Amino acid sequence: MRHLPYFCRGEVVKGFGRGSKELGIPTANFSEQVVESFPSDIPTGIYYGWACVGNGDVHKMVLSIGWNPFYKNIKKSVETHIIHTFKEDFYGEILSIVITGYIRPEKNFDSLDALISAIQEDIEEAKRQLDLPEHLKLKEDNFFHLPEGKIVNNR
């Protein structure tokens, strides 16, 4: 995919509140401005890569770009599930991500259980892919060293 790897950084904002409460899979959401900064021709779907909150550790992540057909969103969203357990919310923090690969297109599901099951499979696929050397090397990218006072998308 020609846009990958894709580097992005932005503030974490409150989303729909479904990730943690309904799905048991918390997500960090970018603002509309950050979502609109993504290339318009980047396909919607499920991706994987690396994520870092502030100047913290870099963790594996799985990410959804799109309208979440199960929930019939009217606005496109970018929701990042960091494969790590955080002790508290980090709204207002800067989230830096590097999208390294694509898993599947977004699709609708017949039930909440089917959606949760698909997300769990996506997480397992992301973990496997991110252990490969071509993806692992991006974990150490200088992009994750947040410059003081700067928010810059795409480096």
Q: How far apart, in whole angstroms, are the C-alpha atoms of residue 64 and residue 71?
A: 13
Ranges assigned E (strand) in the chain: 6-13, 28-30, 45-53, 58-66, 77-82, 94-104
Residue type, 110: D
113: left (phi over 0), alpha (psi -120 to 50) or beta: alpha
Determine which one of 11, 22, 32, 79 is catalytic: 79
* Residue 24 CA from chain centroid, whole number: 16
Q: Active-site residue 124, yes or no? A: no
| Three-state DSSP state, 64 | strand
Residue type, 47: Y
Residue type, 54: G
Show which residues are catalytic: 79
